[in-house]
């Protein structure tokens, strides 16, 4: 096929929790049947969430639309049947029972892709919830359980300098925002 096929975004419903597997299966099947001309992109929108586990900050990716995989494709030829027959695929969104899949509208696509961009950008732009002079409690690390006073806030390093009384002596500590909480 010489001319470029027009491709639109469609939403594939997938078994929740298997979105990334479904994405891989779709890409593998398309390659196996040589249908690369029909498929431009398979997307599982995710957001980065920061969790604290055992005192360590872990960045995890969470699926933003559980149960949905976005596909930019031309659904000509065997594409619809091929995608529907993939393990973990429930079907296409917006289809009338037995009807054709309905492509996303331009503004829906922009909103979805905008959300994806926005989510990748805003990983660490958390506002600093502490003020100098405020009393806080250390909730993580070797000084867990101690109370202290915020002396300085270092925005670049995203750290707080906290004065903690240890054995009757004031000791300065450098802690991340995740290691303390307001009292």
CA distance linking residue 109 with residue 181, whole number of Å = 39
Residues 13, 48 within the same domain: yes
Residues 162, 82 within the same domain: no
CA distance linking residue 12 with residue 92, whole number of Å = 4
Residues 34, 61 within the same domain: yes
Please say which residue of 93, 121, 149 terminates a domain. 121
CA distance linking residue 66 with residue 13, whole number of Å = 9
Distances in Å between the alpha carbon of 110 and those of 10, 65, 106, 113, 118?
Answer: 13, 15, 6, 5, 12
Q: Could you list the residue range(s) of the whole structural domain that residue 70 is in?
A: 8-121
Contact 146, 135 (CB under 8 A): no
Residues 49, 98 within the same domain: yes
Q: Let me know if residue 2 belongs to a domain.
A: no
Q: Let me know if residue 1 belongs to a domain.
A: no
The pTM score is 0.59
CA distance linking residue 116 with residue 45, whole number of Å = 6
Q: Let me know if residue 127 belongs to a domain.
A: no
Residues 114, 140 within the same domain: no
CA distance linking residue 143 with residue 50, whole number of Å = 22
Query: Tokens for 170?
Result: 């004031």
CATH number at 141 reads: 2.30.30.30
Residues 95, 146 within the same domain: no
Residues 105, 165 within the same domain: no
CATH number at 81 reads: 3.30.70.940
Under the phi-then-psi rule, with left for phi > 0, alpha for psi from -120 to 50, and beta for the rest, what region is 79?
alpha
| Mean pLDDT split into 10-residue runs, the chain, 183 residues | 76 94 96 93 86 77 90 91 94 75 87 67 59 91 90 86 90 89 87
Q: Let me know if residue 86 belongs to a domain.
A: yes
Domains identified in the chain, total number: 2
């Amino acid at each position: 096929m010489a001319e470029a096929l027009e491709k639109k975004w469609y939403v594939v419903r997938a078994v929740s929790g298997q979105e990334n597997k479904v994405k891989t299966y779709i890409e593998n099947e398309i390659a196996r049947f040589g249908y690369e001309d029909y498929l431009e992109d398979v997307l599982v929108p995710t957001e980065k969430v920061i969790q604290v586990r055992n005192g360590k900050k872990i960045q995890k990716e969470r699926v933003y639309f559980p149960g949905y995989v976005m596909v930019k494709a031309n659904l000509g030829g065997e594409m619809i049947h091929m995608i529907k027959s993939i393990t973990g695929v429930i079907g296409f969104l917006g289809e009338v029972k037995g009807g054709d899949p309905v492509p996303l509208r331009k503004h829906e696509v922009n909103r979805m892709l905008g959300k994806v961009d926005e989510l990748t950008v805003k990983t660490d732009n958390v506002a600093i919830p502490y003020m100098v002079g405020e009393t806080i409690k250390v909730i993580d690390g070797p000084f867990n359980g101690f109370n202290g006073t915020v002396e300085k806030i270092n925005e670049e390093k995203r750290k707080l300098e906290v004065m903690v009384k240890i054995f009757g002596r004031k000791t300065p500590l450098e802690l991340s925002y995740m290691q303390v909480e307001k009292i």
